Amino acid sequence: MGSLGQETGSLGLLAAGPTAAPTPARLLRTALAVFHAQACAYSHMPEMAASPSLNHVNNARPSIIWPLEHLPCYGGEAPGLAGPASGAGPRTCPPPPRPARELTAALIPEWGRGTRKPSPRPADRPAGSTELRAAGPEVPVRPWVAWPSILGSTATRFPGAPCAVAEAPGSEPACRPLAFRSDPFTDYGSSLTVTLPPELPAHQPFQVVLRYTSTDAPAIWWLDPELTYGNAKPFVFTQGHSVCNRSFFPCFDTPAVKSTYSAVVKAPSGVQVLMSATRSTYVEEEGVYHFHMEHPVPAYLVALVAGDLKPADIGPRSRVWAEPCLLPTATSKLSGVVEQWLSAAERLYGPYMWGRYDIVFLPPSFPIVAMENPCLTFIISSILESDEFLVIDVIHEVAHSWFGNAVTNATWEEMWLSEGLATYAQRRITTETYGAAFTCLETAFRLDALHRQMRLLGEDSPVSKLQVKLEPGVNPSHLMNLFTYEKGYCFVYYLSQLCGDPQRFDDFLRAYVEKYKFTSVVAQDLLDSFLSFFPELKEQSVDCRAGLEFERWLNATGPPLAEPDLSQGSSLTRPVEALFQLWTAGPLDQAAASASAADISKWRTFQTALFLDRLLDGCPLPQEVVTSLSKCYSSLLDSMNAEIRIRWLQIVVRNDYYPDLHRVRRFLESQVSRMYTVPLYEDLCTGALKSFALEVFYQTQGRLHPNLRRTIQQILSQGLGPSTEPGGTPALLLGEEAPGGTISLRNVNVSA
């Protein structure tokens, strides 16, 4: 990905895979949820080889990403769209009347600024991408310039055309239609090749303009008002990680390529639009927002959100955005502390380079817990009730400002370079602000989850490697797991122990960020920098120590080769272990068990979650133990946050404890978040409670986002036989597959 050469006479692109023809209902949804974008400024690279086969990254074809299911016609006829006459220039059609819930945007990725060619890699692995250069100044972009067909009406058809531009900088571009072809690629994309004009002068910069409409793009999540907290206005957000933004706008959808970008968004009155950008302005009389990101970022970090959002300042360079009904809670939870975390991170790793650090709280339909979009972290609102999880999740995203956003893994095969380093930095920040004991408790909780996932997958699972081999056609999203976070963290922690002083290692990471900021790196860059910074360690050949070789850390399956010393957290973890032993090690002491309820009411959230996770690991439990647990804890746990309640309810479900099923029902009736519903439905359908799960689902499905509804339908449909099928359910349950990339959450009791 990310290579472009004029000598080949063509431009290679990828596209989101084709979908079935829309039904009338989906067509209506298309009209309501259309998103327009325009992208320019792809540069010719004269040093590239004159070969039809351009450079590859991750065994993928060189590409700009393009949503094929919404392909317009470029100089010829295509279904539902009329092409321009041969040789004709672009036509500008007046916009049709805008539906009330429409956003129109023009987005220009200035691909190549800041992109760095990764270091050489072993001969048996794919080469890095060739550096790209920007094509010059930004191209003026206006809303309504391009209006593709919406409902197929002849009056509103617009001949979208990619155009080769070879004009003087600053002049109005003159476009011409270009020929294209599409070919099969993977289940999450098809290739699109655009032929460049042969008369284009060699080595001259040019631009390619792509006009398109995206309707059912997986990166773009449209919410009806009833799926928001306020129930007042529709809501839309994007989620680009790992490779979804190829359906949001045309881009080199690989972390090896970074760029600045500009965007113009027109929204209905009363709708607040935000993007992950360093600068923004709003022209109220036109309803137009202008955004610009001045630092190069990979495509997956371009993000947009729009809805009924209000701001509140929580620090000198931070504010929270949330729906009005949530704003007081969000403000009270984070006021003042975000600046403490940013200041601690700056003391450790150097200046914060993104200007503002704002946070937007999204409705429960947000598919993950948090996303580190630069300048504008996305966080699911559901986490607001779980104070300690909120603290850790926000600090983790703060750490990504240095590790992941500024310095990015060049390939999805090495996601640990972002997640492992960010997790290490997160724990250094929490140690600075909350002490070592709290950090060790949270680390013990996460490492427990890592070993739980290891037991599920097996120690020889290839995804347990830090350098995962990404086979051709495999969606990188399928590689997201705890190993990238916790095994990556353990390796970084091991490196810090080699130098013998955490402060010296902080100094190294600070120098590493300064050297590689706004570029993409591979593991060898980090390790070479480490050995150069500590020449005494290089002389000792620490990279080749038997059993702890750097190469083994990267490419061996199984658990971490070494884990951190967590003894500083023993004051918090020892009571958890003692209580767990009380309930599981031998004959139950009822008096001591009853007294323990008062103890856990004073515990930290991570202590209670760790205790319940260890009970979950031992399920099924003896019936008398479950009965006593319920008698001691169920009422108390009802008053705790959702992170605690879901763990107790999973114990209830895995032990078929019917007296507490009403609590499971009440929880599922109140929760519409993926992270709190999917684990319970998976557990319900694994045991003897599938009919109960079906009943609850039919009563609550109207409140779920369509994507989550499809996921749960898929869970419920597995193993559904005639004896368990309620009337009329097969068509509903079996009609659609769960979205690609869904990761099973069963037995992996973590929130992020």
Active site residues: 397, 485
Three-state DSSP at 520 gives strand
Contact in structure between 161 and 87 (CB atoms under 8 Å)? no
Q: Which structure tokens are listed for 718?
A: 């597995």
Q: Which of 350, 369, 488 is nearest to 423 (CA)?
A: 488
For the annotated binding site, the residues are 396, 400, 419
Output DSSP code: residue 577: H
Contact in structure between 406 and 414 (CB atoms under 8 Å)? no
Number of H helices and E strands in the chain, helices first, is 22, 22
- Residue 167: count of CB within 10 angstroms of its CB: 14
Output DSSP code: residue 145: S
- Tell me the sheet residues that pair with 288: 266, 283
For residue 710, CA distances in Å to 53, 120, 695 come to 39, 43, 16
Contact in structure between 75 and 177 (CB atoms under 8 Å)? yes
**What letter represents residue 724's amino acid?**
T
Q: Which of 424, 392, 442 is nearest to 496 (CA)?
A: 424
DSSP of 354-423, one letter per residue?
SS--EEEEEPTT-SSSEE--TTEEEEEGGGGG-HHHHHHHHHHHHHHTTBTTTEEESSGGGTHHHHHHHH
- Residue 517: count of CB within 10 angstroms of its CB: 17
d(CA 745, CA 368): 12
Q: Which of 214, 218, 256 is nearest to 60 (CA)?
A: 256
- Tell me the sheet residues that pair with 360: 321, 378
- Residue 567: count of CB within 10 angstroms of its CB: 11
Three-state DSSP at 184 gives strand
Q: Which of 208, 184, 206 is nearest to 194 (CA)?
A: 208
531: Cβ contacts below 8 Å, ≥ 6 apart: 537, 538, 542, 543
Q: Which of 411, 486, 475 is nearest to 452 (CA)?
A: 486
Output DSSP code: residue 243: T
d(CA 595, CA 593): 5
